[in-house]
Amino acid sequence: MFAYLVKRVFQAAVVMFVISLISFSIQDNLGDPLRELVGQSVSEEVREQLRDELGLNDSFLVQYGRFAKKAMRGDLGTSYFFKEPALEVILKKLPATLELVLGATFIIIGLSVPLGVFTAIRPHSIFSRVIMGFSIIGISVPVFLTAILMIFVFSVEMRILPSYGRGDVVHVFGYWSTNFLTWDGWKHILLPSAALASIMLPLFIRLIRSEMMETLQSEYVRFAWAKGLRPRRIWFVHALKNTLLPVITVGGVQIGTMVAYTILTETVFQWPGMGFMFLEAVNRVDTPLIVAYLIVVGFIFVVTNTIVDLIYGLVNPTVKLARMGA
């Protein structure tokens, strides 16, 4: 297990290194830091001198080394637009995005488990067929279209829910701002997180259903029936427990994917999170902010995937052996 852990952490470090290399080469090629600093009205000689002082004439590797050293200390440069450290700008936007993901996760868990289990237990009932029908439609509707439709129905036509922004937020633990403490905040987060959940929900219903159906066919479940246990106990205690293992691992990986989809939902709802900020940064060619976003998001992806892999290795002995050898 220890060797596996070391290997996995090493792999994560390599991926992180590649991400930082890519980010740095973007910074190197995108925009001119000198122009951002001094503007157009400086003579060529002074420019050259400044270039030397800033180390912009050094070789790629030397510059990368400097970049990496600073990045390790959490210094990812200063945003051209906000005139603040890029990492700080992102960390301020992070709570909005994470709460969106959290809200969507609650909706997904709350709906996919009961619906998935029901469709597995009663595959032929009309309700199950309706759910499965809706799930294939749900897979086919892009998340931004769901979001637009929700805005059109609930904000434009019915006028019961707000269509953009975060509304009233409460600051807790210093800088973290939360939607979950005010009624207005709840109203604002409902539509965006429902839209975000809509893309994953069909996937999870189908996954839970197919895993559950497979489990219900297994020997130990048949033995439990033979023993005369009550159906509820078999379904929810015996079968469901073993169904959840693959669901958790898929879920862990999908958290990363959700971060990507937040860019879409945040754009539609003008949610002041990281994704919205990233697109704005791209439009303004705010290079340090773009680079910082890449590194932060890359870090989130690498960390979640590594943790999911480690948990998977821990709880699933059959996979562990095969994977450790590889």
Partner 1 sequence: MSNLSTNPEKTRMQKMWHSNIAYSFRRNPVAIVSLAVFLLIALSTLFAPLLAPFDPYDMTQFNILDSELPPAWEQGGEARFVFGTDAQGRDLWSAILYGTRVSLIIGICAVAVQALLGITIGLVAGYVGGRVDSLLMRLADVQLSFSTLMVAIIFLAISQALFGSETFNEYALFILVIVIGVAEWPQYARTVRATVLAEKRKEYVDAARVLAFGPLRIMIKHILPNSISPIFVISTVQVANAIISEASLSFLGLGMPVSQPSLGSLISSGFDYIFSGSWWITTIPGIVLVVLVLVINLLGDWLRDVLNPKLYKG
Task: Specify the residue, 12 or 87, whose C-beta has the smaller distance to partner 1.
Answer: 12
Distance CA 296, CA 77 (A): 13
- Among positions 239-258, residues that touch partner 1 (CB under 8 A) are 253, 256-257
| Contact of 16 with 302, CB cutoff 8 Å | yes
SS3 196: helix
Distance CA 308, CA 247 (A): 11
Rounded to the nearest whole angstrom, what is the least distance from the CB of residue 288 to partner 1 in the complex?
Answer: 13
Interface residue with partner 1 among 292, 305, 312, 313 (CB under 8 A) is 305
| Contact of 86 with 78, CB cutoff 8 Å | yes
| Contact of 26 with 290, CB cutoff 8 Å | yes
Site string for partner 1, 176-215 (x = CB under 8 A): ---------------------------------x---x--
| Contact of 302 with 253, CB cutoff 8 Å | no
- Among positions 10-39, residues that touch partner 1 (CB under 8 A) are 11, 15, 26, 29-31
| Contact of 198 with 143, CB cutoff 8 Å | yes
Comparing C-alpha atoms, which of 284, 289, 224 is closest to residue 93? 289
H/E segment holding residue 242: helix 240-269
Stretch that binds partner 1, among 140-148, 178-186, 189-197, 237-245 (CB under 8 A): 140-148
- For the record, the structure tokens of 282 come out as 């791209």
Stretch that binds partner 1, among 58-66, 76-84, 122-130, 225-233 (CB under 8 A): 122-130
Distance CA 162, CA 147 (A): 12
145 touches partner 1 by CB under 8 A: yes
Interface residue with partner 1 among 96, 294, 295, 296 (CB under 8 A) is 294
Rounded to the nearest whole angstrom, what is the least distance from the CB of residue 15 to partner 1 in the complex?
Answer: 6
Where on the chain is the footprint of partner 1 (CB under 8 A)? 11, 15, 26, 29-31, 119-120, 123-124, 128, 136-137, 139-145, 148-149, 151-152, 156, 163, 209, 213, 253, 256-257, 259-261, 263-264, 267-268, 278-279, 282, 285, 290, 294, 297-298, 301-302, 305, 326
